[in-house]
Structure formats: structure tokens, C-alpha cells
Amino acid sequence: MATIVVDVMPKAELLDPQGKAVSGALSRLGVDQFTSVRIGKRFELTVDGPVGEDTLAKAREIADEILSNAVIEDVIGIEVVE
């Protein structure tokens, strides 16, 4: 059994209000080490058996078409773990 991890982040040119909110909360709590916070999604897709090239291609396809919204998000990584 393997897991394919897909990382999706809001596009760099977008504001990411969720990240801004966390960043503001950190400032108010006196945490000043981090200049910005951005929040994206991490998908774990479980695959029975080994991950072949076709399964990885299908993962790339659904990452672009279903798991992310290309207008506001970028798929920044797809990797097989375990």
C-alpha cells in the first residue's frame, strides 16, 4: 500500500485571507519570527499495491482537474511516500 501526497497552495499573487488571519493572530500573540503565513491543502491518496506510471499520471490529472482550482491555486507537488 502506498500513499500519493498532493500539495496545493493558493497562487502567490492572491491574498490568502486565511493565512493573513493566522499571521495577524501570531503578531498579536507576540510571535514575530514569521513574516508571512500561507495556508494550502495536503491531499493523501491511498493506493493499493505499488504506484505505477499510469496511477501517477492519473493522480496528476485529478490534482489539476479535481483537487485544485486552477484559477486560484497551484499544484506545487505530487510525490509517492511509503
In the bound complex, what is the minimum distance in angstroms from residue 71's beta carbon to its own copies?
18
| Closest alpha carbon to 63 in 79, 52, 47, 75 | 75
Contacts with its own copies in 19-48 (CB under 8 A)? Answer: 19, 22, 25-26, 29, 31, 33-48
| Closest alpha carbon to 12 in 69, 65, 74 | 74
User: What is the gyration radius of the CA atoms in the chain, in angstroms?
Assistant: 16
11 binds its own copies (CB under 8 A): no
Binding-site ranges for its own copies (CB under 8 A):
4, 7-9, 19, 22, 25-26, 29, 31, 33-48, 55, 58-59, 62, 66-67
